[in-house]
């Protein structure tokens, strides 16, 4: 079976996360996006874990769905079952002593409980707990409980494995089960690093809100023998990832070297000469593009045979917003978004599969922008320092076919 999966999100008990990030809302919005499987995120957090145990039931080994009729105790929202449902798998992100972030995917609630008892740290201080251990210790304990583990957003300048180390093996002392690329990198960039040739890549949203312009903004298309934890683990470890979908890396917040306060971009030598301090007083953060250049053994990507294609996408609501220069959450934008999703079943279908002639019947201008994005004929001002990149639409993007 073929599924679309997003494994890295955060629940409502994480810092700077929407109060709407609840299993019920996540399930319904995942359907609109076109996701079949979503990581729960934050599974080590006591209150979130309790909510997950109360609101879900196991449909296959390690795979859960919402209980029909479940009422969320905080919001009063309830699940009606049927088409609003999606599948969940237990996941978390943790921060180690070196401020390196790791994604863990669990086979069961039992394994979550056992790992909670082994890790050193306050599991309930935040959805993403800080663990007083190093990456290799965390991986070893997670593997003892049957989990799979890999670095989160591996190249970002604040909390990533390549921020702290020059090799994944310096952190784990063995090959991780996967590596998460993050919004500011793609396969063409990462496959310039020789040590990553044998490591599967995942692309996940790291969503802090459940709406489809966040949830599933990056996802993985995978072929599973069965929808179970073992089926998923086999697919990841044996190269059954059919495609990674995600941002053009220039749209990521850390693609270029830039100030984290005023977002001015810098050439690397200028940043060094300034001792990584911007005249405005902010810190200059090294861009993912330059960090990968430092780590690269090749000037161009060397894609191994098992590496799937990386397909650039942009959230549909952002495409509509750009087309009409109106806010993503405005009634105008949401009306067009809803018409497209209802016509084609979900957002992924609109972005990737829907015939352009059919999209034109709903909105000709949006059709032209989707067409331009599919063909890579848009201009992008790269992001950096914590600010997302920006798409700049020329008038002929709206008026002409490509």
Sequential DSSP letters for 138-189: HHHHHHHTT-EEEESSTT-SSSSHHHH-SSHHHHHSS--S-EE--TT--HHH
Q: What is the pLDDT of residue 377?
A: 83
- Where is 337: in which H helix or E strand? helix 331-344
Among 197, 232, 249, identify where a domain stops: 249
DSSP 45-84: SHHHHHHHHHHEEEEETTEEEEPTT-B-TTT--B---GGG
Please tell me whether residues 217 and 81 are part of one structural domain. Answer: yes
pLDDT of residue 401: 42
Judgement on whether residues 88 and 207 belong to the same structural domain of the protein: yes
DSSP 265: B
- 45 domain residue, yes or no: yes
pLDDT value for 172? 98
> Looking at the 3D structure of the chain, how many domains does it have?
2
Classify residue 359 as exposed, middle or buried by CB count within 10 Å of its CB (0-12, 13-18, 19+).
buried
Residue 298 domain flag: no
Residue 257 covered by a domain? no
Same structural domain, 89 and 216: yes
- Shared domain check, 223 and 327: no
Is 292 inside a domain boundary?
no
Q: Is residue 16 part of a domain?
A: yes
CATH no. for residue 29?
A: 3.20.20.140
Could you tell me if 235 and 326 lie in one domain? no
pLDDT of residue 393: 75
51 within some domain? yes
Residue pair 311/245 in contact by the 8 Å Cβ criterion: yes
Q: Show which of 225, 249, 273 is a domain's final residue.
A: 249
Note whether 242 and 387 are same-domain residues: no
Residue whose token pair is 């005023």: 262
Residues 332 and 230 in one domain: no
Domain edge (last residue) among 221, 249, 277? 249
81 with 196, same domain?
yes
Does residue 214 form part of some domain? yes
43 and 153 together in one domain: yes
What tens-digit pLDDT sequence spans the chain (402 residues)? Answer: 999 999 999 999 999 999 999 999 999 999 999 999 999 999 999 999 999 999 999 999 999 999 987 666 665 554 444 455 699 999 999 999 999 999 999 999 999 999 999 999 999 999 999 999 999 999 999 999 999 999 999 999 999 999 999 999 999 999 999 999 999 999 999 999 999 999 999 999 999 999 999 999 999 999 999 999 999 999 999 989 999 999 999 999 999 999 999 999 999 999 999 999 999 999 999 999 999 999 999 999 999 999 999 999 999 999 999 999 999 999 999 999 999 999 999 999 999 999 999 999 999 999 999 998 888 888 899 999 999 999 887 655 556 544
359 and 217, same domain (yes or no): no
Burial class from Cβ neighbours inside 10 Å (0-12, 13-18, 19+) for residue 337 reads: buried
Q: Is 331 exposed, middle or buried (0-12, 13-18, 19+ CB in 10 A)?
A: exposed
Q: Which range of residues forms the domain containing residue 323?
A: 314-399
**The pair of three-digit structure tokens given for residue 120, joined into one six-digit string:** 């050193």
Whole-structure pTM value = 0.93
149 and 24 inside one domain: yes
Q: Check whether residue 366 and residue 230 sit in a common domain.
A: no
In 3-state terms the chain splits into helix, strand, coil percentages (rounded to 5) of 35, 20, 45
pLDDT in the model for residue 378: 85
Residue 139 lies in a domain: yes
């Amino acid at each position: 079976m073929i599924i679309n999966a997003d494994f890295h999100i955060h629940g409502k008990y994480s810092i700077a996360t929407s109060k709407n990030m609840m299993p019920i809302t996540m399930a319904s919005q995942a359907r609109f996006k076109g996701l079949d499987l979503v990581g729960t995120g934050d599974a080590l957090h006591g209150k979130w874990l309790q909510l997950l145990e109360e609101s879900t039931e196991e449909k296959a080994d390690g795979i859960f769905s919402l209980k029909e009729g479940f009422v969320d105790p905080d919001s009063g929202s309830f699940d009606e079952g049927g088409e609003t449902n999606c599948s969940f798998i237990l996941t978390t992100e943790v921060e180690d002593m070196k401020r390196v972030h790791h994604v863990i995917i669990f086979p069961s609630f039992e394994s979550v409980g056992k790992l909670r008892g082994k890790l050193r740290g306050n599991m309930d201080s935040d959805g993403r707990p800080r663990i007083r251990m190093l990456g290799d210790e965390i991986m070893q304990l997670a593997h003892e409980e049957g989990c799979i583990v890999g670095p989160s957003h591996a190249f970002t300048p604040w909390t990533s494995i390549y921020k702290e180390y020059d090799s994944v093996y310096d952190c784990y002392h063995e090959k991780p089960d996967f590596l998460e690329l993050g919004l500011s990198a793609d396969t063409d960039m990462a496959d310039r690093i020789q040590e990553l040739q044998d490591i599967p890549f995942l692309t996940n949203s790291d969503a802090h809100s459940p709406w489809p312009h966040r949830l599933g903004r990056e996802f993985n298309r995978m072929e599973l023998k069965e929808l179970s934890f073992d089926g998923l683990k086999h697919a990841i470890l044996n190269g059954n990832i059919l495609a990674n979908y995600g941002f053009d890396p220039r749209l990521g917040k850390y693609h270029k070297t830039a100030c984290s306060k005023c977002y001015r971009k810098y050439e690397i030598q200028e940043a060094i000469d300034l001792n990584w301090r911007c005249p405005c007083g902010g810190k200059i953060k090294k861009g993912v593009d330059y960090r990968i250049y430092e780590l690269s053994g090749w000037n161009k990507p060397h894609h191994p045979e098992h590496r799937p294609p990386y397909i650039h996408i942009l959230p549909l609501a952002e495409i509509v917003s750009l087309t009409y220069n109106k806010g993503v959450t405005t009634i105008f934008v949401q009306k067009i978004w809803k018409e497209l999703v209802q016509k084609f079943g979900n957002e992924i279908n609109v972005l990737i599969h829907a015939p352009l002639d059919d999209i034109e019947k709903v909105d000709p201008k949006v059709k032209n922008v989707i067409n331009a994005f599919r063909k890579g004929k848009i201009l992008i001002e790269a992001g950096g320092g914590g600010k997302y990149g920006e798409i700049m639409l020329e008038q002929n993007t709206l008026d002409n076919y490509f």
